[in-house]
Amino acid sequence: MKFAVLDFETTGSTSSDRIIQVGLCIVNDLEISDRYTSLVHPGISIPSSITALTGIDDEMVKDAPSIDSVIAEMVPLLQDSVLVGHNVGFDLSFLQRALDEEGYYPFDGRVLDTMDTLRMLYPGLSSLQLSMVCQAFDIVHERPHQADSDAEVTALIWLRCMERLQSLPLLTLQRLEMVLEDQVGDLGWLIHELRTYKEMHASAGSDPHEDRYFRQFALNVSDWGEEEEERDPQEIKRMPDDFGAFYTQLKALMQQSFGAYEERESQVQMLNNVESAFQKEQHLMIEAGTGTGKSLGYLIPSLYYGLKNEKKVVVSTHTINLQEQLRERDIPLLKELFPVPFKAGILKGRSHYLCSRKFEAKVNTLDFENGREDRVTAAQMIVWLGETKHGDDEELHFSGKGQQFWYSVSSDAESCLNRACPWFKKCFYHRARHEANNADVVITNHSLLFTDVVAENRVLPGYKHLVIDEAHHFEEVASKHLGIELHYHGLSGTLLWLYKDARTGQLSLLKQKLARFEKDITQKWCSMIEEIVPRLIALKEQWDELTEVLYQLLASRSDASQTEGNTMVLRLRKDSLPNGWDKLMVMEENMQLHFTEVNKKLDRLLTEVKELQDEYDAASLVTDLSGTVKQLLRHKDALHFFMTMADENYVYWLEAGHYNKARSLQLSSVPMDVSSLLKQYFFDAKESVVMTSATLSVGKSFDYTCEQLGLQTQDDNKLVTVQLPSPFNYREQALVVIPRDFPSIRGNVGEKEFVDKLILSLAEVALETKGRMLVLFTSNRMLKAAHAGLKDMLSPFGIQVLGQGVDSSNRSKLTRMFQNHPASVLLGTSSFWEGVDIPGNALSCLAIVRLPFQPPNHPLVEAKTENLKKLGQNPFMKLSVPQAVIRFKQGFGRLVRTASDRGIVLVYDTRVIDTNYGKYFLYSLPGPKIEHMNTSQLVPRIKQWMGEKEQ
């Protein structure tokens, strides 16, 4: 098979643009056999943006051949070739135009895109950008955006893809061919060729993958429960009874394994505090600064205590990211070092796991709602099934509507057949549950902890010892999960699952299946479906109408000056409802009547069909349909709870974006105070709860966090609080500078002057630090204004300016772009204040633009403020300042990530030195050098500070 791997550099992407460089690699018998490259005289001037990207300017192409002679040399090389390109549609369109203009026949061979192939063959690849793929494959890409270099690396990537394709199990190739057919360009043809070749050369019984086949899929898992290893109880008895003695042994092993291992005093303190809390059945709140090594600080004592006492310990993180980090990094490390074999289970929310039964049904019936996109996603998942041991969506990187496809095949409680499912012993969710049940330590996340509470403890295995990492988020997650949210797409999506059109939707599929049997009973069921469909259509129309009116109400009542970015929010109160609410209640009552009628008819249909489901091959559909009906009931109740504002202890609000109108509408019903619930479900119910984070105290006190979590009434002996010093020398590593003459903002007054001065100051500092700067904003609007101004000022000096929500909304992608380009300034809002890790020289300067106070008009903040006022307390000092201090500390923590990091923090908000409450912000920092001066002195001081580093 001969492949021609092509890449063009052009003056742009429109029909009037021209080719300026050609790169072509010919691949024969899986080797690069020929190369062709040439600059091309485009006949027009090359835009400066293209020169900046490619390095090719008018001077370089002045004496280059014109396109007619280049095409004449390319045509023989393209003869009998399959054309391959990275995003090949772009190159193909330029090739066809050039062939046409020079009087050649169009290229009529097969065309393949490395992007589709990579997405399918490497399901976990996090970026399909050419340079990122090269990085992932360890391919050196010397001159990105030069056609010869791009074509060369694309050819090497293609060779990897071909090797990967040839190594796939025969059954996987057969499945891929069935899914792709001729619907995804020529990719289906390529799979067909490889499948045919593999079948022709396979001898009977020679398939090395055969033992991995199950229900016509190649898998990478055996039945769960089969691989159980028995642990010798004597091994645990041989562990020292004293934790200190045990840790001394473990430390010796660490020193043997890691030559550079250094003991951290604060980590040793943490180990002892956690183990002591477990032994004494106490709750522990422990603030451990960056560099403490929190993960090992709680995992080691948790495992020791759990093993010695045969008690299960649950560890909960705020983010799935940290869960993955514990799975991939910390647990394997401890498994190598621990003197006793232990079991760690990772358990996430059910929707993170694939339901193999649903996926099998999708693939077998070729039920691909989004056509080509769904086919590529299904192909990606077929390959992934042959690799995954966890069946967890974190291992997959979707594009386009991939996430929507996943939602249709993910596990859920409502449609689960449990032991009746043919996939039960291979089920990823039940495997994770089984591993959690048998584990010594279970690693989960805050969301699932509260799902377990709502499900009356039927999700997690029983436990009495809990570690809450990233504990500063615990109360906020509790509010969200103990509340009730209904999104426009939640209800409309469920209605569309039931019925979209005559071919799509569970009822349509069931009707098609039943209609094949010409029996009285199946005809009766088809008639029942026909009766239900108009009611579902009416419900969808009524929901659209209700959300449209609610959106108009929100848009008319929301104060644009008080809303941040693209979000509008409107709090609703039962004692002062907006005009016309009674009409909305009538609309909701009509919907409730339709809901009731639909549920009654669906229940009857399902009851009847269920009895004969096997006879009509409808078991899988009936199960999924039952699940969707339960979902519909949940949405029905959520809508009624919101519209009637049934509980006075809840806060109710509407939220939507400015641009996608009613489709972005969300109805939120959230308990105002969850502290009593946290006390009931965790602090009173568990023997020991350990809460840890780098940011739990405010002004060296834990009072605020204790109150939020319902711990303020704990007796003195039950709760222990510890604040550990960071192992970093912040006095030497971090300088905090406040420009004391910087303008202030009062409400919206003075914002323009502030932003103008900010742009000027940031630009001066960025030139001194050569980029390497992260700027944290509290306002999207201000970020966008600063981005435009900074870009104009810094671009001429080769400093790249990246903005969240401007250059990308993906935090990981922006962080990667920042790290890959040494002279960069990165502007971020909310998600950049924490969880971003940029160690080393990539980041030398952190700028905090404004103190991170929450908008006072957010419904939950507003309700809590009102409540504190009723109690005669000062809500600003009791709520707003502590919340902002914790966020400020998180932001500060982005700068120093390792013992060798050093840099400057600029705080452009003079309230930290001008107000009484400002001291809480500065006093909460871990001991950096703090100075304030006039703005004009910033750059000389930074220069001096950075110079001290180099001496």
Q: Give mean pLDDT, residues 531-557.
A: 92
How sure is the predictor about 566, in pLDDT bands with cuts at 50, 70 and 90?
low
Which residue in 271, 814, 839, 358 sits closest to 621, CA to CA? 358
Q: Residue 136 in contact with residue 125, Cβ under 8 Å?
A: yes
Check if the beta carbon of residue 700 is closer than 8 Å to that of residue 723.
yes
Q: What is the mean pLDDT of residues 331-345?
A: 91
Q: What percent of the chain has pLDDT over 90?
A: 65
* 147 closest CA partner among 61, 53, 4, 37: 37
pLDDT of residue 561: 45
Encode burial over 214-243: b for 16+ CB neighbours within 10 A, e otherwise: beebbbebeebeeeeeeeeeeeeeebeeeb
Give the span between the Cα atoms of 300 and 338, in whole angstroms: 9
- Written as one string, the DSSP assignment of 449-462 is HHHHHHTTS-SSPP
Encode pLDDT of 877-916 as tens digits: 999 999 999 999 999 988 888 888 889 999 999 999 999 9
Q: Are 763 and 792 in contact (CB under 8 A)?
A: no
Amino acid type, 611: E
Coil, strand, or helix at residue 251? helix
In this predicted structure, what is the pLDDT of residue 319?
Answer: 86
Burial 680-715 (b: 16+ CB within 10 A, else e): ebbbeeeebbbbbbbbbbbbeebebbbbbbbbeebe
pLDDT in tens, 777-812: 998 889 999 999 999 999 888 899 999 988 888 788
The DSSP secondary structure of 67-84, one letter per residue, reads HHHHHHHHHHHHTT-EEE
Q: How confident is the model at residue 303 (pLDDT cuts 50, 70, 90)?
A: very high
Q: Which two tokens stand for residue 605?
A: 């249909």
- The dihedrals phi and psi of 802, each to the nearest 5 degrees, come to -115, 135
**808 strand-pairing partners:** 804
44-93 residue pLDDT tens: 999 988 998 899 999 999 999 999 999 999 999 999 999 999 999 999 99
Quick one: tokens of 408? 């249709």
Mapped onto helix, strand or coil, the DSSP state of residue 287 is strand
Instruction: Choose the weakest-confidence range: 75-89, 107-121, 478-492, 552-566.
Output: 552-566
pTM of the model: 0.87
State the pLDDT at residue 513: 85
pLDDT of 28 higher than 60: yes
**CA 313-319-325 angle, 5° bins:** 70
Average pLDDT over residues 266-284: 95
| pLDDT for residue 560 | 52
Mean pLDDT to the nearest integer, 660-678: 89
Q: CA-to-CA distance for 905 and 895, rounded, in angstroms?
A: 8
Kindly calculate the radius of gyration of the chain based on its CA atoms and give it in whole angstroms. 31
Quick one: which H or E segment has residue 765?
helix 751-769
Q: Give the three-state DSSP class for 101.
A: helix
**Cα→Cα distances 547→150, 174, 542, Å:** 49, 46, 8
For residue 233, the model assigns a pLDDT of 80
3 state SS of 538:
helix
β-pairing, 31-39 with 19-28?
Answer: antiparallel
**Phi, psi dihedrals of residue 739, rounded to the nearest 5°:** -75, 105
Say what the pLDDT of residue 245 is: 93
417-471 per-position pLDDT tens digit: 889 899 999 999 999 999 999 999 999 999 999 999 988 888 999 999 999 999 9
**Average pLDDT over every residue of 6-28:** 94
Three-state secondary structure along 807-851? Answer: CECCHHHHHHHHHHCCCEEEEECHHHHCCCCCCHHHCCEEEECCC
d(CA 637, CA 646): 11
Q: Which residues contact 930 (CB under 8 A, 6 or more apart)?
A: 736, 738, 922
The three-point CA angle 618-620-623 to 5° equals: 105
Contact call for residues 896 and 943 (beta carbons, < 8 A): no
pLDDT at 352 over 50: yes
Residue 227 has pLDDT above 70, yes or no: no
